[in-house]
Amino acid sequence: MRSSRTPLARRLAALATGALTAVGLFAAGATTAHAADTPLRTLGAAKGKVIGTAVTGSKLTGSYGDIAGSQFSSLTPGNAMKWGSVEPTQGSFNWTEADQIVAFAQAHNQQVRGHTLVWHSQNPSWLTNGSWTSAQLSSLLQNHISTEVGRYKGKIAAWDVVNEPFNEDGTYRSTLWYNGLGSGYIANALTWAHAADPDAKLYINDYNVEGVNSKSTALYNLVKSLKQQGVPIDGVGLQAHLILGQVPSTLQQNIQRFADLGVDVAITELDVRMALPADSTKLAQQAADFKSVVAACVAVTRCVNVTVWGFTDSDSWVPSTFPGYGAATPYDENYSPKPAYYGIAEALGGSGTTPPPTNGACTATYSVTSQWNTGFTGQVKIACAGASLSSWKASWTYGAGQQITQAWNAGCTQSGSAVTCANASYNGSVPDGGSVTFGFNASWSGSNPVPTVTLS
Ligand code: XIL
């Protein structure tokens, strides 16, 4: 299947998989953004780079699954392999989502980055609330690592064994592990992971270690000393949760110094957050930021993988973690590639696919939010990026006798099967980077297919 789909093809695919949503497009420029003809994973392979994304297992169908499977050559479970996810109650395991992601990756010829084995966050409460001797803590950790790494032996290309061990000043973070076991927990965790899967590449992963600074220098010194001691350490992960316009100028130099130490480097969690709302200037800066991060990796042979932390704004940790910020990923919430997507493609040598930066569009997304035996509630979200509206009209044709009974935040009329909804007095204006949503109740019987919405 071609990875890059036209809006029509995407809509058909969404219908074929039963997704109750459809997108209508109103282009402000001559053309709208289409995914590059050559998928990112293919462009990456030509440069010797694996291109990955974090994913949520339950979403791997429809357009989300199509993009995850076709554009990327590596998947990282966003949460599914964390201790709190896999062993919520001591001794009782839940591997469902992790297994699903691994199976999806195998079906799509993708690597999996295991994430993560030893961390201070997202641990089960039985573990964090327990009181353990250091011998008990050590054996809990060893069992956890042996069990999880052992389960996926041969299926995981790389493990983020230790996550976020440092403070900003380069001292060790005070955690369950450091406080209970001392800094030796890091070497032990790597050694246990290696014993459970000798072929997996083993990483230490952290944030704010992208540029040369106190924290990345502490990581550098740790890796150097682990290597001197013969501890199995294969790579460092630079998370790269970045802020718009703030790619560190020493990124490439920093990647290079780790490579010179004899370890691989991966950009493991790349996103570039911006203060909302997004607008075309910010989206262009974001494209430049993604491009320069990927270019820094391309410039260093031992930089082996660039992974984005969610490929769509609809599946990003940013809005809930950094209030007021968002739009941090390469695809918008409707799965259209943003300028950032083309920034990545360009850094990987893709050409001729970048839409002009002034090009923008407003889209209308119809979805059924709840449905019962005779009726349903629906909504239409009108969102603009790189374009704006001062008034709008959304029209569609019902294919199965549906009848609107009531609408809010728009004035809707229906004549036969033709529905037209115009803005209310207070929500005609949709700014660049903004959106409005209106809702309605309607009746249905037999079937309730999703119509195509035209915006005018
Ligand atoms: C985040 C997930 O994306 C969220 O869904 C979850 O609520 C919190 O964790 N550094 C990491 C990742 O190593 O595991 C974190 O993932 C983001 C920061």
Digit-coded pLDDT (tens) for 239-296: 999 999 999 999 999 999 999 999 999 999 999 999 999 999 999 999 999 999 999 9
> At residue 185, does pLDDT exceed 50?
yes
Residue nearest to atom 4 of ligand 1 (CA): 317
Q: What is the pLDDT of residue 355?
A: 54
Question: Which residue from 53, 56, 79, 118 has its CB within 8 A of the most atoms of ligand 1, so it is best to mutate?
Answer: 79
Question: What's the 120 CA to ligand 1 centre distance in angstroms?
Answer: 12
Q: Rounded to a whole number, what is the distance in angstroms from the first to the last CA of the chain? A: 32
* Distance of alpha carbon 384 from the chain centroid: 21
Q: How far apart are CA 351 and CA 44, in angstroms?
A: 13
Q: Using a 6 Å cutoff on CB, does residue 271 contact ligand 1?
A: no
> At residue 19, does pLDDT exceed 70?
no
Instruction: Tell me if residue 269 is catalytic.
Output: yes
Q: Using a 6 Å cutoff on CB, does residue 269 contact ligand 1?
A: yes
Q: What is the pLDDT of residues 20-56, one digit of tens each?
A: 344 444 433 323 334 447 999 999 999 999 999 999 9
Q: Using a 6 Å cutoff on CB, does residue 172 contact ligand 1?
A: no
Active-site annotation holder among 87, 97, 210, 269:
269
Kindly list the distances between the CA atom of residue 25 and the CA atoms of 1, 165, 334, in Å, as whole numbers in the listed order.
23, 46, 11
Q: What is the pLDDT of residues 150-169, one digit of tens each?
A: 999 999 999 999 999 999 99
Question: What's the 353 CA to ligand 1 centre distance in angstroms?
Answer: 32
Q: Using a 6 Å cutoff on CB, does residue 78 contact ligand 1?
A: yes
> At residue 15, does pLDDT exceed 70?
no
Q: How far apart are CA 442 and CA 378, in angstroms?
A: 8
Instruction: Tell me if residue 164 is catalytic.
Output: yes
Range 395-423 average pLDDT? 95
Q: What is the pLDDT of residues 127-150, one digit of tens each?
A: 999 999 999 999 999 999 999 999
> At residue 213, does pLDDT exceed 60?
yes
Active-site annotation holder among 164, 210, 333, 346:
164
Q: How far apart are CA 91 and CA 124, in angstroms?
A: 11
- Look-up: residue for tokens 């994304």? 53
3-state secondary structure of 234: coil
Q: What is the pLDDT of residue 36?
A: 42
> At residue 357, does pLDDT exceed 70?
no
Domain ranges within the chain, ordered by starting residue: 14-25+36-347, 362-455
Q: What is the pLDDT of residue 5?
A: 40
Question: What's the 121 CA to ligand 1 centre distance in angstroms?
Answer: 9
The average confidence (pLDDT) of the chain is 91
* Distance of alpha carbon 454 from the chain centroid: 29
3-state secondary structure of 327: coil
Q: How far apart are CA 81 and CA 102, in angstroms?
A: 11
DSSP 8-state class, residue 103: H
DSSP 8-state class, residue 256: H
Q: Using a 6 Å cutoff on CB, does residue 268 contact ligand 1?
A: no
Can you give the pTM of this predicted structure?
A: 0.75
Q: What is the pLDDT of residues 271-283, one digit of tens each?
A: 999 999 999 999 9
3-state secondary structure of 108: coil
Kindly list the distances between the CA atom of residue 346 and the CA atoms of 3, 35, 249, in Å, as whole numbers in the listed order.
17, 12, 19
pLDDT band for position 352 (50/70/90)?
very low
- At residue 227, φ and ψ (nearest 5 deg) are -65, -40
Question: What's the 311 CA to ligand 1 centre distance in angstroms?
Answer: 14
Give the number of other Cβ atoms within 10 Å of residue 338's Cβ. Answer: 22
Q: Which CATH superfamily is domain 14-25+36-347 in?
A: Glycosidases (3.20.20.80)
Q: What's 362-455's CATH class?
A: mainly beta
What is the enclosing helix (H) or strand (E) of 226?
Answer: helix 214-228
Q: How far apart are CA 122 and CA 236, in angstroms?
A: 21
pLDDT band for position 384 (50/70/90)?
confident
Name the range with the highest mean pLDDT among 19-28, 316-325, 426-435: 316-325
Q: How far apart are CA 132 and CA 142, in angstroms?
A: 14
- Look-up: residue for tokens 């053309």? 31
Q: How far apart are CA 72 and CA 255, in angstroms?
A: 22
Range 314-331 average pLDDT? 97
